[in-house]
Structure 1
Amino acid sequence: MNRNSKTNYYLLLFVIFGGFLIFGVSENIKGPAIPEMQTELALSDGMLGLLLAINAFGFLLACTYTSWLIEKIGAKTISIVTFLLMGVSGIFIYFSSSFPTLIGAYFVLYLGNGMLEIGLAIIAARLFTKNTGTMLNLSHFFYGLGSTVAPIVAAHMMGWEISSTILGWRGMYMIMLSLSLLPIIPVVLSRFPKEQSEEEDRTSYKKLAKDPIAWLIVFALLMGVTTELGIAAWLVNYLVKVDQWTVEAASNLLAIFFFTFMLSRLLLGPVTDRFGYAISIIVFSAFAGIISIIPVFAGEHAAILFAIAGFGVGPIYPTMMALLAKKYTKGTDTAITFTVVLIGIGGVITNLIIGYLIEIVTNLQLRPTYEASNQLGMQAGYLFIASTALLCSLATVFIYVRLKKEGQLL
């Protein structure tokens, strides 16, 4: 590798690592903001579920066209557009004054997030052809780093007083999302890698649709993503309503979750390369599910286990993406798009399930007061989130069995 190639490689690392850092921030500043949004705009838990479902739909929509746009006009141009879109969404959120305008602003943000997800996945799969599990886990470590910092910074920033006015969740979103403009600099300066295989498999969508392993990967990854995003969206609300924590204290615990999440991605990447992707996911996701369930029943004194679950949740996504890249070496871009689009569809459904499960259980009034019934609803919702990690583990057992039968253990 000559000097220019090394410089370009480092610039691309900055784009990938910086992109994942921004992705983590944009996804997870909502934890501390949601209780404030809910109070200010008088949103029910069902409406929150609807908001998150529409976000997932925006993410899904972006995933359906991003790979095609990358093929037509290039990953470099799409990356610039993506970061600009995310920065603009912060301005839209700042000026949102009602539930419909908030939905529209969030929709724009999640269009950006969806484009970023596909773009970074494709660039990383093209660049990291060796030690794929290690490098993808390292890349997603920066997502974890952004996710760790985001709740703490967001919670403190919302309380800032500027010209005798509290910044609040709107101002916090605008400032934090303006950071999306920074990665544009290395994007402009770098040359982006092209698809490694000589010829893209144009029939791979049809092949994937007929491949049971592809569908098992989609389901397992959907369950793993639901666990990750469910915790990010609902843990602060859970601790505030069930355990009567302050938003700041709950945000700190969410940050600890993302710290363990981040640490696992930093340290366990080589483990996945050594012991195998499928086996690693089975163990990680089972651990995450069990550890997340315990504090729901054990109560506040076991709340730290919510954070420790991050050790199991963290490696699931990058390790499954490494498995995907190794399983479908021809047509990796197509396999990534196929998987992420279907996860987006599933994400709309799982977000609705969580929000309306909480609302339905609350409205059953199984306890004497609304607050107590809402606590029960929050517990039911969180049990569903934890169960998705166990389902991820179970689905990956079936992936392992099929790969072993085909002599393709990864």
Structure 2
Amino acid sequence: MHNSMHKSNTRTRLRLNDILLLFVVFGGFLIFGFSENIKGPAIPRMQADFSLDEGQLGMLLALNSLGYLAACTFTSALSKRIGIKWTGITAFASMTIAGVLMYAAQGYGFLSASYFLMYIGNGMLEIGLAIMAARIFTKNTGTMMNLAHFFYGLSSIVAPLIAASMMGWHGPGGELGWRGMYLIMLSLAILPIIPSLWGKFPEEMHEPSEHISYRKLIRDPIAWLIVFILSFGVVSELAVGSWLVNFLEKAYGWSMSDASGMLSAFFLFFTLARLFLGPVTDRIGYTLSVMIFAAFSGICSLAAIAIGEKGAILFAIAGAGIAPIYPTIMAMIAKRYPKGTDTAITFTVTLMGIASVVGNLFIGYMIDFVHSLFQGRGANEGQILGLQAGYEFIALLALLCSACCLILYMVLRKRGEVI
């Protein structure tokens, strides 16, 4: 009797712990989506307040990538030193502190430093959440990873709308503005700290002989294929957010609200795909899933360009194909490297971060290059051809992601190790 009561209490404690950990991971992704995507409406106000030119603004945004990459390099080592629980708490706390510092920022230098800290927090959170999720979701990994990233998609859709609305709120000190908005939104990062303090996180278990090192990963062709798949997929995904509105406005003469509406539709398909396609990845395998979804996204984007304005909805539908790639690759890494997930995730995500900086620069220069080639063809034709070439490249990246997946599938099948 005493034994069965003890077992029942243990089971209840375990279930409660699982719920706390889900709150941390899902809540973490929700806050991550907010902190990444509230900048859209805030940046023009910051520019006006500090009288920044485009170069200074570009520098501010470049600090995002730099802070993010810096965090990617040390988060895995930090989680080994202080544990994943305290790494997560440090990430949430640094974001809250960044919000307070941004509120107090009086000059461009102070603002840049606060922004840099926020993106260090973001980078720590991305790696930290990926490590947490890989350890917690040992069953139905593809489904649970996609579900966790669904929360990121959800907050990404509403973040710009909430941010724009909050900046117009009036408090005792006048209008809330971008400072107050950042202070309130980043203070939400305190909320996941509470279940983090109570929860017991699974730490990585491995024999010293089995532990994977960066040197082993550098020599592993499969690790490099995973890096290429993730980089092509993510650059294609992020480029849509940067270029779709611009393309629709300049190539088809759409109004800003109509073009933004199409981008919202892209994120809607994107988010729904993460909610519903997770179980498909577990059923048919991660490699095959990514191969099919990436090809679907690339074909949709190319078809949209070929059809012209009438096919614009295909730009949005392409979001359903590109959405499951990142979370499914995280699930793939967790299955492929169970004894060194932290190291494998850090290796892959850091290289992907570098690729995304290079990729976005390349797309911008490519649009300019094609534009200058056809400048003599009329006022707008060169610009439209440039934008089309840029968007075709975005579609090509999704197809390259699919092609790399096909190679990975063939290599793994030959070894009898298909994931």
Which TM-score tier does this pair reach, normalised by the shorter chain?
Answer: 0.7 to 0.9
User: Cα 1:118–1:286, aligned 2, differ >3 Å: closer, same or farther?
Assistant: same
Amino acid at match of 2:82: I
Q: Take 1:244 and 1:22, find their aligned partners in 2: how far apart are those partners?
A: 35
Q: 1:127 is matched with which residue? A: 136
User: Cα 1:179–1:277, aligned 2, differ >3 Å: closer, same or farther?
Assistant: same
Matched, 1:267 2:276: yes
Contact 1:49/1:356 (8 A) holds in 2: no
Q: Which has the larger radius of gyration?
A: 2
Q: 1:390 is matched with which residue? A: 399
Contact 1:19/1:116 (8 A) holds in 2: yes
One of 54, 63, 77 as aligned partner of 1:43 = 54
Q: How does 1:129-278 map to 2 (within 5 A)?
A: 129-158=138-167, 172-199=181-208, 201-278=210-287
One of 300, 324, 328 as aligned partner of 2:333 = 324
Bigger mean CA offset, 377-386 vs 165-174: 165-174
Contact 1:152/1:251 (8 A) holds in 2: no
Q: 1:348 is matched with which residue? A: 357
Bigger mean CA offset, 117-126 vs 83-92: 83-92
Structure 2: stretches of 5+ with no match in the other structure: 1-9
Alignment RMSD: 3.2
TM-score by length of 1: 0.87
Q: Take 1:219 and 1:253, find their aligned partners in 2: how far apart are those partners?
A: 28
User: Cα 1:384–1:377, aligned 2, differ >3 Å: closer, same or farther?
Assistant: same
User: Cα 1:286–1:98, aligned 2, differ >3 Å: closer, same or farther?
Assistant: farther
User: Cα 1:151–1:200, aligned 2, differ >3 Å: closer, same or farther?
Assistant: farther
Matched, 1:282 2:294: no
Bigger mean CA offset, 243-252 vs 333-342: 243-252
Q: Take 1:251 and 1:127, find their aligned partners in 2: how far apart are those partners?
A: 37
Q: Take 1:42 and 1:243, find their aligned partners in 2: how far apart are those partners?
A: 29
Deviations 1:291-343 (A, max 9, x none): 22333454444332222112111110111111111111221111111111111
Contact 2:212/2:343 (8 A) holds in 1: no
Contact 2:299/2:395 (8 A) holds in 1: yes
Determine which structure has greater relative contact order: mean sequence separation of CA pairs < 8 Å that are 6+ residues apart, divided by chain length.
1
TM-score by length of 2: 0.85
Contact 1:151/1:252 (8 A) holds in 2: no
One of 5, 17, 40 as aligned partner of 1:8 = 17
In structure 2, the residue corresponding to 1:409 is in which secondary structure? coil
Count of equivalent residues: 408
Q: Take 1:297 and 1:163, find their aligned partners in 2: how far apart are those partners?
A: 54
Structure 1: stretches of 5+ with no match in the other structure: none
In structure 2, the residue corresponding to 1:74 is in which secondary structure? helix
Q: 1:305 is matched with which residue? A: 314
Contact 2:127/2:345 (8 A) holds in 1: yes
1:166 to partner: Cα distance:
6.7
Contact 1:31/1:251 (8 A) holds in 2: no
Bigger mean CA offset, 190-199 vs 78-87: 190-199
Deviations 1:39-98 (A, max 9, x none): 974527xx8776655422321211110011111112222212211222333455556688
Contact 1:325/1:332 (8 A) holds in 2: yes
1:379 to partner: Cα distance:
3.8
Amino acid at match of 2:347: F
User: Cα 1:114–1:164, aligned 2, differ >3 Å: closer, same or farther?
Assistant: closer
